[in-house]
Structure 1
Amino acid sequence: MEPRADISPASGPAAILPLHDDVTSRSVRAAGWVAVSSIGNVVLSFAVFLVLARLLNPGEFGLVAVAVVFIDILLIVTRGGLPDLVVQTERLDAAFADTAFWVALASGCAYALALVLLSWPIAWLLRLPELQPVLAALAVTFVVSALGVIHEARLQRTFGFRSLAVRALAANLAGGSVAVVLALHGFGVWSLVVQRLLATSATTVLTWAAFPWLPGRRFDRGHARRQVAFGSRVFSTQLLLTLSIRSQEVIAAYFLSTADIGLLRLAWRCIDLVSQVAVIPLASVALPTYARLQGRPGELAAAFNGFVAMSAVLALPAFLGMAAVAPTLIPLLFGEQWRDAVPVVRILSLLGPEFVATSLLWTIFTASDRTRAALVLAAGQFGITILVAVATAPFGLSALVVGHVLRAYLFSPLVVIAAGRFVPVGNGRIAAALAPILACAALMACGILLVQDAVYLQLGERAGLAAVIVGGVLAYGALAAILLRDTLRRSLALILHRTAVARTSVPGIVPEPEASSSPKTGLGPTGRIAGGKA
């Protein structure tokens, strides 16, 4: 059963490409559902964490934390880039989809078996014998997840993010509820293992329900070779980008103390919290959006610039505002023992503009099938990150983090230049789009720094912090209404799907005319009428 028209058997295996404004508007609405899912999952995860933290001892939490490190990294390998290829492929036929499903399932089974076999030596090397059964049990998630990744990708092709968001929330709610019940009955570490297994299983089942496609028995070796080649480059790139951040913790463990590692991890969690709300939703819908616009580089660049502006409007004030109130916010949220994380949070918050731009930029390489270039760039970034971290870590945690921020701002322009070879994006355009937003956010943060001590003195820390945050939001809103009027108008137009207003002239965001598509006839690069279903 095919609930979405991403395959067109009547007229050949071609996906019909929508017009730019329709694609971008659908992307914005999809990002809203991703934001709902992200916020809901953050709140739910934090609530489950608080409950379980009172029921389980730190050793039990630490045991699963070690196991989850392996799972999270290997899940990148398990997906193998296949969902990205399914989303990116302009023409998706039945044989291609069937082959992708069986390749994903075979990979999941292989990695599950590998983790079970490696669970004994891993537990022996880490001197944690109780880790072996935990790893062996969690290996099942590879198979279960593989059963649903192609269904998830096909939902993404049709912008079915509402279904994905609702089902992710339901799955996590089910897993968290069962984990709490099991912990109350003394199952200890296994309550967290069951949570992970149940959430993954529920997600797969509900994804099948949302997209009830039954894969056929077809297996095309040509498709399989392309999928493995493309997927290996994508997952290698994703793995290197992930390791570029996580490697800091390994290097900090060698040069610094375990306390420094904890401070660094907490600071990154704070950055992640902002990104889950302001950056990840748009980054999640970037691939299907860019894929629909491949072959029309001007429109793809317009979508990218629009996403950057919309994300920055929320993310930059959140990053800089968090940096301003960090001396009060961090101890109140996590306890006085975490006060030393304040300077780390403040330094990492400076990554805001770079983080927004690059989070939405890397996907262009995948959508445009430039995965080799992305892999080379990711490898270069990883190598430079290691060198910078090794050079700065001996001087302390702050030096390590400053080095990471400087590396990001020096290397990211090279990524933009590489993307600019096949899509009209540039460092100057990105800087011009971000500059007024950054100015508003910086003015708001400076205002908070000037008044917060007096507010805390009058109202106390808790009430004062709430007052300062509300005041900062109002101040930023007033500045944005004055200085960011065009950006806000375009964002509102896209949200409301008002395409006439969406064509309002905004520097760096207006779609450029394309020789490969006719604005009069609506013909896409393949000669088909644009505007149909994905």
Structure 2
Amino acid sequence: MKDKLTQKTFKGLFDMSIGVGAQFIIQFVLLIVLARLLSPTDFGLVNTSVIIVTFLSIFSMAGVGQAIIQRSNIAEEHISTGFTISILLNSILAVITFSFSPLISQFFDMDELEIIVKTMSLIFIFQGLSTVAESIMTRDLKLNVLSKIQIVSYLLYAIVGITMALLGFGVWSLVSATLVQYGIRCILLLILQPHSKKMNINKQAFKDLFIFGGGFTLARIFNQIAVQGDNFVVSKFLGVQQLGIYSRAYQLMAVPVTLFGKILDVVLFSSMSKIQNDTFRLSQALLKGVSLVSILAIPSSFIFIYYSGTIIGFLFGSKWEGVIIPFSILAAGIFFRSSYKICDSLIQAKGAVYQRAKYQIVFATLVLITSAVGSIWGLNGVSIGVLISIIINYILMSNLALKLLNMSWITYLNSQKYGFRIGIYLIVILILVSHLISSIIDSKIIVFCTVSIILISILLFSIRKFPNFFLGKDGMWFVSFLFKKLKKNKNKK
């Protein structure tokens, strides 16, 4: 039984990796294309509307989806009750968002924002219909299907967004693409994960869901304040154009975070929930997850910081030079953001949602205060404030997870040493090789590509020669698992 769950979990990781990897490629290309077709103001307007919609989305689900995933046993009454609550709450929030759009526009002093917020309120309808289906699919670890849905919906987002941008629709390219993405995702979830659409609220089922869901929602309120608090500060105090620039820096930093953290977060929460009373197995899952994230995220941070100017110039062009320093600062937090997501999964799986909520209140308060103070020095100050908040939140969330497992900080930090080894090794080689190639070739892009090829070759050779030193037991196990999975898939074809 234990082996079966482990196999299913890592099969889920593999399937989710394919989906998120494909989404990563699409998002990467989209970032480049849209940044050259649209202005910082266009991105700023949409991101301001996203602040509102994302924050209100917390109440639209009321923790129903996570409660369905977390419960050991789920009955038909839980499904119908969850579906009914989701429909009702999302419908109410759609009406509220639509009605208050003029006030929101006045608050941010952006006349164009009113019609955008009204249009984006349709997102609540799509969420209301699909939340339960997505939760059941995640609970059952049908992550291969879920990853395909994500790829299709994001691909259509890219097609609609780029096509409309080329036709000169400006900000409406982003708005329309977002609605298409949510709409297609909703339709596919309902088709591929059928469940009872009966509208009914069962008292006991309501109580079961909201014992967990209430605490989850409380924590999520403050988590969203933390996630969107810096955007709010930038939009309110520095203006929509600066928000457009800042959002590009943050989104580019979030690409690897999504790639490393989200995969493990989605899969591990579902799997951890099934073994929530087995402390030893939960401890092993946490250490494996954090070790893998450190191996991927820490070297990425070092490379992004070192080559930030070249990356931004190549991807976005000269009009986005203001992104370079904020991106460099935020890139330093990639590992910390990815790691606390894994701790978050464990804390939720253990049902410690009210303890989690306390830490999220601290995190939200820190983000608002540090970004507001930092705004005095512009986007660079905001970025430093957010980085400080992310590191403190990593410490707090890790500490709570370790308490729940009765694990020491030494054991926990020891699992992260391999990422730092690879990161330090890479940056030393990177500096030496980069200086050598730069003295021969003038073009920054050619230097970047040449150094990257050399760097990857040296790293692969070093890992092959000294796998235990660079990857450790967990890293070697995961590489072995991936090769077996790829070989199996190849043989099937």
Structure 1 residue 176 displacement after superposition? 3.6
Q: 1:492 aligns with which of 467, 474, 479?
A: 479
Q: Which runs of no fewer than 5 residues in structure 2 stay unpaired?
A: 486-493
* Higher Cα Rg, which structure: 1
Q: Secondary structure at the match of 2:404?
A: coil
Aligned residue in 1 for 2:84: 102
Matched, 1:298 2:288: no
Q: Distance in 1 between matches of 2:401 and 2:386?
A: 22
TM-score in terms of structure 2 length:
0.87
Structure 1 residue 328 displacement after superposition? 2.5
- Contact 2:93–2:124 (CA<8 Å) still a contact in 1? yes
After TM superposition, the structure 1 = structure 2 runs for residues 364-513 of structure 1, keeping only pairs within 5 Å, are: 364-394=346-376, 397-398=379-380, 400-459=382-441, 460-481=443-464, 482=466, 483=469, 484-495=471-482
Aligned residue in 2 for 1:197: 179
Aligned residue in 2 for 1:231: 213
Paired AA for residue 257 in structure 2? S
Paired AA for residue 475 in structure 1? I
TM-score in terms of structure 1 length:
0.81
Q: Percent identity?
A: 16
Paired AA for residue 432 in structure 1? N
- Contact 2:261–2:339 (CA<8 Å) still a contact in 1? no
Matched, 1:220 2:207: no
Paired AA for residue 177 in structure 2? Q
Q: Distance in 2 between matches of 1:192 and 1:179?
A: 6
Q: Which runs of no fewer than 5 residues in structure 1 stay unpaired?
A: 1-17, 499-534
Aligned residue in 2 for 1:346: 328
Aligned residue in 2 for 1:269: 251
Count of aligned residue pairs for this structure pair = 480
Q: Secondary structure at the match of 1:421?
A: helix
- Contact 1:41–1:172 (CA<8 Å) still a contact in 2? yes
Aligned residue in 1 for 2:225: 243
CA 1:208–1:124 in 2, change beyond 3 Å: closer, same or farther? same
- Contact 1:33–1:165 (CA<8 Å) still a contact in 2? yes
String of CA shifts for 1:146-197, please: whole Å, max 9, x gaps: 1111111111111111101111222233344344555566655444433222
Aligned residue in 1 for 2:489: none
Deviating more after overlay: 54-63 vs 158-167: 54-63
Structure number with the higher helix fraction is 2
Q: Secondary structure at the match of 2:307?
A: helix
Matched, 1:166 2:166: no
Deviating more after overlay: 437-446 vs 123-132: 123-132
Matched, 1:142 2:124: yes
Q: Distance in 2 between matches of 1:269 and 1:451?
A: 29
Structure 1 residue 59 displacement after superposition? 5.2
Matched, 1:323 2:305: yes
Structure 1 residue 388 displacement after superposition? 3.8
Higher RCO, 1 vs 2 (CA within 8 Å, ≥6 residues apart): 1
Q: 1:283 aligns with which of 265, 278, 293?
A: 265
Deviating more after overlay: 354-363 vs 35-44: 35-44
Q: Distance in 2 between matches of 1:130 and 1:287?
A: 40
Structure 1 residue 497 displacement after superposition? 7.6
Q: Distance in 1 between matches of 2:245 and 2:43?
A: 17
Structure 1 residue 283 displacement after superposition? 1.8
- Contact 1:155–1:161 (CA<8 Å) still a contact in 2? yes
CA 1:476–1:239 in 2, change beyond 3 Å: closer, same or farther? farther
Structure 1 residue 360 displacement after superposition? 0.4
CA 1:145–1:249 in 2, change beyond 3 Å: closer, same or farther? closer
